[in-house]
Amino acid sequence: MKQRLIYFIKHNSVAQKTYRLVGSWLLRVLGIFVKPDPNLVLFISLMGTRYNDSPRDIYEYMLDHKGYEKYKLIWAFERPEDHPDIQSVKIDTLSFFICALKAGYWVSSTQFERGLTYKKKSTKYMYTMHGAAIKLSGNDCPGRNDFNYKTVNYLCVESDFDKYVFHRSFKAPEDCFLESGRPCNDPLWHATEKQKEDIREKLKIPQDKKVILYAPTWRDSTNGGKSYDIKPPIDFDLWKKELGDKYIVLFRAHHITTRIMNVQFDDFIFDYSAYPEINDLYIVSDILITDYSSVMVDFAILERPIFCFAYDYDEYLVERGTYFDLNTELPNGICRCQEDILTEICNIDFEEQAKKTRAFKEKYDQYGGNGVEIAVKTLFG
């Protein structure tokens, strides 16, 4: 029910306006009666669905380092009972909004105020972002005009291109950008072959096989927000026949995706959609296949081959759109059919691919490597 309501508000301009005006007003009135706590820090990742991403890294840094003992650290979760060892509050409840109005600091990887405007001036808001700008986002999306990040104090960016997009599409103030990279990507900048071997052992990946990570982005709902299914036009039996002697595939669906269709998992293709540590999957993988997902920017840090399987490119450009021509900007352009992907992999030159990815990285991963420390010291001094 909640997903359907969110879908309705996103796709109805009258509902958007009503939601913004009424919701913001009610919470501002409530805020008059809530006494601020300057030492309370409220964390949210992926709208309360996960304990991960940059907010987790910032939270754990504060736990592990001296000087932050005075702060009360609270998480907002959809299911607080799943995290008994963490002080938390249930998101989108009255208790959550009171906690948010009380907090001296907000740290979030997705939009904190849910399209509303109720942050107190005394609250410092760090938005670590969940991904880079590849597909159209915010107010650049068809039918959207409800994004306004004027209340954000610090917005973590990976490149000057991020600054351009986030200022334009989210109305983020030009003076809020923090050139830290996304804090959660710090481990990718320092990954070693030893780590790769250790993760392979943990995931029980055969030592004689290379790893392909297939991580497509989500597709919008076709049934009013009831579900967000994905059905890639792939014959994995053919993939197994062509690549099975040398490779295995790790499938990673977007967290919004509700069902993976047309895929039968076996000893060649494995479902890692629910695996909590996506950095592990990046580090252990030799090749990335994606489409319009910003995972390509994360993976580029490792300077390994990236292929874009854009089987619905023409349709996607009409329905959503991208910020640049993928054919000219991505390391290998786009592949429209699985046969093209298979040909690319069967004839791959890893050294040449590393050069292509490095050029992409230099433009879209300008900042990073020490993001957690930069974020914490910027926010808390």
Q: What is the pLDDT along the chain (381 residues), one digit of tens a residue?
A: 566 656 555 666 777 788 889 999 999 999 999 999 999 999 999 889 999 999 999 999 999 999 999 999 999 999 999 999 999 999 999 999 999 999 999 999 988 887 789 999 999 999 999 888 898 988 898 878 878 899 999 999 999 999 999 999 999 999 999 999 999 999 999 999 999 999 999 999 988 899 999 998 856 645 555 544 566 788 989 999 999 999 999 998 866 654 565 667 788 999 998 898 999 999 999 999 999 999 999 999 999 999 999 999 999 898 889 999 999 999 999 999 999 999 999 999 999 999 999 999 999 999 999 999 999 999 998
Domain 191-364 has CATH 3.40.50.12580: yes
Phi, psi of 338 (to 5 degrees): -65, -30
Start and end residues for every CATH 3.40.50.12580 domain found in the chain: 191-364
Query: Under a CB-based contact definition with an 8 Å cutoff, are residues 303 and 358 in contact?
Result: yes
The ranges of the chain annotated as CATH 3.40.50.11820 are: 2-181+368-380
Residue 288: phi and psi, rounded to 5, are -110, 135
Residue where the block lists tokens 């009666």: 33
> What pTM value is reported for the model?
0.91
Closest CA to 292 of 313, 278, 315: 313
Pick the CATH number of 2-181+368-380 from 1.10.287.70, 3.20.20.70, 1.20.1260.10, 3.40.50.11820: 3.40.50.11820
Which among 154, 116, 147, 153 is positioned nearest to 28, based on CA atoms? 116
